[in-house]
Amino acid sequence: MQGEGFDRSRLEFLPVASRLSKLEIAEVAVGPETPAPDPGAAAEVLDRTAERILEARSRGAPVVICHGAHLIRNGLGPLLAEMAREGWLQHVATNGAGSIHDWEFAFLGRTCEDVESYVSKGQFGMWEETGAHIGRALLSGALDGLGYGESIGRMIVDERLGIPARDELLGIVEEGAGGGPGSASRAAAAADLLEAMESAGLEAGEVSLAHPYSSMSLQAACRRHGARFTVHPGIGQDIIYPHPLLSGGALGRASMTDFLLYADTISRLEGGVYLSVGSSVMSPMIFEKSLSMARNLACRAGGSLDDFLIVVNDLAESTWDWSKGEPPMDNPAYYVRFCKSFSRMGGELHYAGMDNRAFLLNLYQRLAAGA
């Protein structure tokens, strides 16, 4: 028997300000003025990456970075925010944790908890503001047709959250029954809000929500400067999922919007650059599906999508030159799955085995010198 599932309304949540956080943005922030360490053996890859980015921007092709949560935890949000402001990045993609850490830095100035300690007390992830505010932002953003990343970016920049009145939401649901472009999807988003009002106590109205450290937020910078910021989460993998205001409907709608925005960017990657930083699963998986979608259209139109650079940056050591293609099965590098996946995508591929702070600082330094 399947049963009813876990009842989240029974959980107790604590103020996020009461949490002992391990990372302070003031201590870990990496900005464009931070000195770049010696890149060592990766210098050649960095030179080639900077060269291709400069070429991409001269021809209007996009530069995309897809990263894992450790990039934000390492304090690189301010550096990437500056890169977005200066026009070096047109699209930033991350997983759910990357978005959450960025939001907590903007809201609280600190993030990251001791997992073992808090799990032992049943308090890991049980933080009211993180779950509730992100849940409300996704519910509101989905109603307005926004993706996950832009929903959070809007909350940070506007410093407020607005939830329509119940009667207005009922009107949107009724309108949706009449048909019309996009009306059914908006009606479903309104129904998610109504369900949250009934089951989780969501209140209508506008709430001011200060984000004292918004200047450190990558999501906010993308919102302000017109770069796309998309979030590609896995259901149940992030600390927001225990909260009753985290709606599966709103999350799915906003995440699907972001995937299609990401796929649209990849469809225009000819002549562009794709940076995959510290994401061994999500980044190659969404890239290969999006590239196949893009080539489906390009091949049917008699075109191609083959001229792009992929640079993978991670800490794992690799002795294989991925620009030569996939290694044989008896080579340990064959089992570095993320590089192997990217090696099957065509284009030009390089691997930079180094700390992401060293990689991005050295890359920014080269771009600034070549601008």
Q: Which two tokens stand for residue 336?
A: 């570095």
**Is 342 domain-assigned?**
no
On whether residue 281 sits in a domain, the answer given is: no
Report the C-alpha gap between 147 and 201 in whole angstroms. Answer: 24
CB 238 within 8 A of CB 259: no
Measured distance CA(126)–CA(124) in Å, rounded? 5
Which has more confidence, 339 or 140? 140
- Sign, CA dihedral 173-179-183-189, equals positive
| Residue 348 burial (C-beta neighbours within 10 Å; 0-12, 13-18, 19+) | middle
Asked if the structure places residue 131 within a domain, the reply is yes
Structure tokens at 265: 């960017």
To the nearest 10°, the Cα dihedral for 182, 188, 194, 197? -110
User: Which tens digit of pLDDT belongs to each residue from 300-332?
Assistant: 999 999 999 999 999 988 788 888 888 888 888
β pairing state of 110-113 and 21-24: antiparallel
Residue 104 forms part of a structural domain:
yes
Q: What is the mean pLDDT of the chain?
A: 95
Q: What is the pLDDT of residues 168-220, one digit of tens each?
A: 999 999 988 777 777 899 999 999 999 999 999 999 999 999 999 999 999 99
Count other Cβ atoms within 10 Å, centred on residue 280.
17
Taking the C-alpha atoms of residue 124 and residue 119, their distance in angstroms, rounded to an integer, is: 5
User: 365, 359, 340: which is closest to 278 by C-alpha?
Assistant: 359
Q: Is residue 162 part of a domain?
A: yes
Quick check: is 34 in a domain? no
Question: Taking 90 as the threshold, does the pLDDT of residue 163 lie above it?
Answer: yes
Residue 219: CB atoms within 10 Å? 31
The pLDDT value recorded for residue 249 is 97
The total of other beta-carbon atoms located within 10 Å of residue 364's CB is 22
pLDDT in tens, 343-357: 999 999 999 999 999
Could you list the residue range(s) of the whole structural domain that residue 123 is in?
Answer: 96-225+234-250
Counted domains in the chain: 1
Question: Does any domain span residue 283?
Answer: no
How far is Cα 101 from Cα 75, in angstroms, rounded to an integer? Answer: 10
Say yes or no to pLDDT of 225 above 70.
yes
Residue 150 covered by a domain? yes
Residue whose entry in the numeric block shows the structure tokens 């759910």: 96
- The pTM (predicted TM-score) of the whole model is 0.96
Q: What's the 3-state SS for 327-355? A: CCCCCHHHHCHHHHHHHCCCCEEEEEECC
DSSP helix/strand/coil, 306: coil
Distance CA 249, CA 220 (A): 24
Q: Which tens digits make up the pLDDT trace of 13-66?
A: 999 999 999 999 999 999 999 999 999 999 999 999 999 999 999 999 999 999
